[in-house]
Amino acid sequence: MRPYRAIFGLCTVGMLVVASTDVMMLRIVQPMLNEFGTVGTEATLYLPIAIVGVFVLRGIGSYISEYGLAWIGSRIVFDLRCEASDHLLRMPTSFYDATSAGFLLSKVTFDAQQVAAAASEAVTVSIRNTLTIAFMLAYLLYINWQLTLIAFAAFPFVALTIRQINKRLRRVTGLVQERTAALTHVLEEAIAAHRVVKVFGGEKYESDRLRAASNRLRLAMAKQSAAAALGTPINQIIVSFAVGVILWVAVRQSTDRSYGAGDFVTYVLALLNLLNQLKTLSNVTATVQRGLVAAASVFALIDEPPEVDTGTVDLGRVRGEIRFEHVTKRYDPEAPAALSDVDLVIAPGESVALVGPSGGGKTTLVNLIPHFYAPTEGRLLLDGRDLATIHLKELRRQIALVSQDIVLFNDTIAANIAYGMMAGAPREAIERAAEAANALEFIRMQPEGFDAIVGERGIRLSGGQG
């Protein structure tokens, strides 16, 4: 919001004008009602002009505030998306290995849009209605301060209700965002692998996954709507007690001719307007909570540490000698080493083929060269220079990469082998297929065996295993 302070200030002035017009209308009508039947026609000549003037003023203020805040909201979501997207491009490979693409897409699209809604619609309603409430309270105190003090008694109960509902909304809103991201992930996965889905007859399987994810999101959104809808009736019931007492006292005072009919009517109108503003203000809390949770989600992504570049050396044209010196790589301190004490020299111009069983570390070895990962132990040298001392951009400028194209679903190994029309195949048939693909050994090495989750597109497996 800081870069747009001037526009926000102009919007605030517009909302201040809109809020003041309600009191202006009451002040115009009040003396007319007090002298109704006795006022001369010449005294009413200004009335149409005054009413039109108030509404013109209200229209100008409304346009400035609503358009200005909508513009600020669109700029905020643009800035957030650009910053989040740029940050994603700087994230290390290990971050993408551990994070679903669907969740990242949801943060940059859905969550950022929720922030925009809170920054425009919710802020407009919150500030404008708060200002209107302040003007109405001042007007009510001016007309009859004793009656208005009764209304103040209801405010703590209304505030407590809003606070409790906001807690519930924040929890449920987080659940909605998680399930929106999960649905995006399932849909992205099915679309990306559409050829595989068609060839293996997996349409029904994917349809069931999408329906299940959509239904989980529907249930979360129903909980969100229920929590948001609860605030208005509870607050209305609380305020109705105060209104009932106020009207009872006001009628008794009017019978004593403490003040005129115009005072009474305008007081009731101002009170009803105040209640309507409170109702609208309580309704917008759902949008505010969605925006706050979404902002926390997007900023959590932006706060993720980017890929570290410790290099200080800029390379010119390199000869291309690659040397591995006692290189060991572990992806997890508790897991077995993907590479263990590797010594290897690749001469400039030399072609090398890495041959071995699935899970043998071939992909890991290749991924160390462009420094997608750093070795746990040992070091890699390019033309005698340690890769850790070379700028990442300079290092990767020297490398061409043709990666493996893996299509695996975020499901168990067994479900990926027996996919589509083969779903439900007996375990013996699945094991025979794995053995024929030379994958049985590494599958049995997994803690969950065939029930191990492979991750999105097989990120938890090596390239050869996938």
Tens-digit pLDDT profile for the chain (466 aa)?
677 888 888 988 988 888 888 888 877 777 666 665 555 566 566 777 888 888 899 899 889 988 888 888 888 888 888 888 888 888 888 888 888 777 788 888 888 888 877 777 777 777 888 888 888 888 888 877 777 787 777 778 777 877 787 778 778 888 888 888 888 888 877 877 777 787 778 888 888 888 998 999 899 888 888 877 777 777 777 777 777 777 777 777 666 655 566 677 777 777 777 777 777 777 677 777 778 888 888 888 889 898 888 888 887 788 889 999 999 998 888 888 888 899 999 999 888 888 888 778 888 898 899 888 889 999 999 998 899 898 888 888 888 765 665 667 777 888 888 877 677 788 888 888 888 877 887 788 888 888 888 765 555 565 555 5
Q: What CA–CA distance (Å, rounded) separates 255 from 343?
A: 102
380 by DSSP, 3-state: which? strand
Fold of 2-302: ABC transporter transmembrane region fold (1.20.1560)
Q: What is the pLDDT of residue 33?
A: 65
How is residue 113 written in tokens?
Answer: 């849009």
- pLDDT of 147: 76
pLDDT of residue 403: 62
Nearest to 302 by CA among 95, 155, 74: 95
Whole-number pLDDT of residue 463: 52
Q: How far apart are CA 386 and CA 381, in angstroms?
A: 4
For residues 235 and 237, what is the distance between their CA atoms, to the nearest angstrom? Answer: 5
pLDDT at 168: 80
Q: What's the confidence (pLDDT) of residue 325?
A: 92
Q: What is the pLDDT of residue 436?
A: 83
Domains of the chain, residue spans: 2-302, 322-397, 413-458
Structure token digits, residue 271 = 């009170």
Q: Which residues of 191-202 are buried (b: 16+ CB within 10 A; e: fewer)?
A: eebeebbeebeb
The rounded distance, in Å, linking the Cα atoms of 462 and 404 is 10
Which pLDDT belongs to residue 446?
80
Residue 56 burial class via C-beta count within 10 angstroms: exposed 0-12, middle 13-18, buried 19 and up: exposed
- Of all helices (H) and strands (E), which one includes residue 83? helix 46-89
| Residues 302, 303, 305, 309, CA torsion sign | positive
pTM for the full predicted model: 0.63
Measured over the CA atoms of residue 98, residue 101, residue 105 and residue 106, the dihedral's sign is negative
* CATH superfamily of domain region 322-397: P-loop containing nucleotide triphosphate hydrolases (3.40.50.300)
User: Residue 327: what pLDDT?
Assistant: 92
